Structure 1
Amino acid sequence: MAAFRPAINKNRRAQRLTSIRVSAAATKEVLILGGTRFIGVYLARQLVEAGHEVTLLTRGKKEVTYQIPDDTDESYNAYKSAVKHIAADRKDKSMLDSKLAGKKFDVVYDMNGREAEEADLILGALGDVGQYIFCSSAGVYLKSSQMPHFEVDAGDPKSRHKGKLNTEALLEDKGVNWTSIRPVYIYGPLNYNPVEEWFFHRIKEGRPIPIPNSGQQVTQLGHVKDLATAFVKVLDNEKASRQVYNISGERFVTFDGIAKACAAAAGAPEPELVHYNPKDFDFGGKKAFPLRDQHFFTSIAKAQADLNWTPEYGLVEGLKDSFEKDFGRGTFRKAADFSTDDLILSQK
């Protein structure tokens, strides 16, 4: 199956192909909760490519499979013919119990769970699950003056992601063989969160890019395909049992640096950066910048050690992949809205 052809180090590519051959020898019955949007799209393809039997559970309100920029016609047709589908609302207990009755899965990838009750319904409907791999978020960490965040750092019970913390606690209390993955900011083709797209819109129009405060806030971005690979590396990995892993890029970057990296990826001149104090403006509830205005980054050393995983994408290389396969083709999730920009620039 000829898919996923980024320009990568030959040794890394050889390692990845070796891991695919090994995992294909032990075929797993895999259930993915989600799998039709962003991360799950790339994960499902890698699992099928590795020889596993993949079933997607979604509400069935959108196409279960569709061709993405990384697909060739051959690879997409192979994926489409291989993947299975169960149409069910994961929050509907009676529907889940009916649709999953008698079905057995070696592995569950929970890619869209937000609350502990949602995972509990899945476990109740399936009974024994060999491995439960959960997509959490680095947003669960309690804000700290000491960084990077490590997996042992305290969580924030008031975080908007507190449901993911509760899900991790539920899985532990249930005695499940679970693993939780905590990405930081994810980017790449099909990204439905306006991370790189926000910058690309402004770069395309040659507009100044408003950045809050000094622009030296340090954060971290990770490419969606590297994230998908990490999820695959957890499969059948004894070291990953009942563990949490931060997943993102190897390098940290400032807000100013992201703007410049996006311009480089798009083949555009370095943009004009305009710094402002958010406290000086009333944006009327609109979000003037796509990232949280603080230092926010994690250590990925534990994942690199336990999962034999290392990101293949550097930041500019990854942003170029995103631009060329998505925004640069004229596709994006949200139309440009420069109203907050105009308010900021009018005061300069």
Structure 2
Amino acid sequence: AEVVWGSPTDPSTYPQGDFDIVYDNNGKDMDACKPLIDHYSGKVKHYVFVASAGAYVANSVEPMHVEGDARKSSAGHVAVENYLVEKGAPYTVFQPLYIYGPHTAKDCEQWFMERILRDRPVPIPTPGIQLTSLSHVEDVAGMLAKVPGNTAAIGQHFNVCSDRCVSLDGIAKNIAAAAGKEAKIVHYDPSRIKLAKGEGFPFRAVHFFASTDKAKKVLGWKPEHTFLGDIDERLAEFKASGRLDKDFDFSADDRIIAEASV
């Protein structure tokens, strides 16, 4: 594969030549995505945009998100999705949830391991039985790879996630069990604590999971991983990363724990 470094907002840096498919796994709003969409408009057979399941409107009655459910009009991803429709692009939109595994951009399982392996308390939003979906990066890539040549995917949205859910407490308890540790869970009410963006628990404090039935039916996709089945491998990689040898700022945790004990 030839790697070409450039800026998604500067067409002069785009790779030369003709392409059948464009995957945009970078942009989150119109400023970042519009130049790429405009440049390849009418030139490709398929335009794949990786959006986010986070753009769904939370639903406390039917929490499992299904393609076609209401999406936040204020979300940057949604504006891009609407623009693809407006342009008449041969698009497919993927909506991933929390992604774990090697070379992922954000902490997922690592957040729990950082605390459990240091024998720290694990602050989790109450009540801890909220369900979420953790998806292995290989399963995510596997679904995206089902698009080329599949005309049935054009004009469609697909949720990208595991077909199994796990509770927030369950994540901590299973990681701790695999590590031979105790999960020192501290439940707290996030509405009582003021935290800056990026501080505190890395997941939503409510149910957050989705159906992948559509991807199974239309794309012929099926997951090869389960989070519980991957914990030993993820623990081994985390320990080998050297993170435990470095200092870590737990000040936000300490504020949460102090508030929870009041």
TM beyond 0.5: yes
- Higher deviation after alignment, 295-304 or 111-120: 111-120
Match of 1:139 in 2: 54
Q: Per-residue deviation at 1:238?
A: 1.8
Q: Which amino acid aligns with 2:54?
A: G
Give the structure 1 partner of residue 40 of structure 2. 126
Find the partner of 2:229 among 305, 314, 317.
Answer: 317
CA distance in 1, matches of 2:32, 2:150: 25
> Could you give the per-residue CA deviations for residues 56-87 of structure 1, whole angstroms, max 9, x where no partner exists?
xxxxxxxxxxxxxxxxxxxxxxxxxxx11223
The unaligned stretches of length 5 or more in structure 1 are 1-82
Name the structure 1 match of 2:2.
84
Partner secondary structure for residue 210 of structure 2: coil
Amino acid at match of 1:140: A
Q: Which residue of 2 aligns with 1:180?
A: 93
Structure 1 residue 92 displacement after superposition: 2.0
CA contact (8 A) 1:203 1:268 kept: no
CA distance in 1, matches of 2:50, 2:197: 28
Distance 1:122 1:286 in 2: 29
CA apart distance, 1:307:
1.1
Which runs of structure 2 are paired with 1:109-120 in the superposition (5 Å)? 109-120=23-34
What are the Cα deviations for residues 27-80 of structure 1, in whole angstroms up to 9, with x where unaligned? xxxxxxxxxxxxxxxxxxxxxxxxxxxxxxxxxxxxxxxxxxxxxxxxxxxxxx
Q: Which residue of 2 aligns with 1:148?
A: 64
Moved over 6 A (4+): none
Aligned length: 257
Deviates more, 1:271-280 or 1:143-152: 271-280
Q: For the aligned residues, what is the CA RMSD?
A: 2.2
The whole-number CA distance in structure 2 between the counterparts of 1:152 and 1:286 is 29
Q: In 1, Cα distance between the equivalents of 2:110 and 2:162?
A: 18
Q: Does 1:157 align with 2:99?
A: no
Task: Determine the C-alpha separation between the residues in 1 that align with 2:175 and 2:186.
Answer: 16
Unaligned ranges ≥5, structure 2: none
Of 251-260 and 278-287, more deviation after overlay is shown by 278-287
Q: Secondary structure at the match of 2:186?
A: strand
Counterpart check, 1:200 vs 2:113 = yes
State the TM-score, normalized to the length of structure 2.
0.89
Residue 241 (structure 2) pairs with residue 330 (structure 1): yes
Tell me the distance in 1 between the aligned counterparts of 2:217 and 2:247. 41
CA contact (8 A) 2:129 2:168 kept: yes
Paired letter, 1:143: A
1:287 corresponds to 2:205: no
Please tell me whether residue 105 in structure 1 is matched to residue 19 in structure 2: yes
Task: Return the TM-score normalized by structure 1.
Answer: 0.68
Whether the 8 Å CA contact 1:220–1:248 is kept in 2: the answer is yes
Contact map agreement 1:105 1:129 (CA 8 A) in 2: yes
Q: Deviations over 1:129-188 (max 9, x none)?
A: 111111110011112121211111011113xxx221111111122222111110111111
Contact persistence 2:162–2:223 (CA under 8 A): yes
8 Å CA contact 2:9–2:33 kept in 1: the answer is no
Q: Which amino acid aligns with 1:150?
A: V
Report the Cα offset of residue 239 of structure 1. Answer: 1.6
Q: Is the 8 A contact 2:117 2:181 kept in 1?
A: no
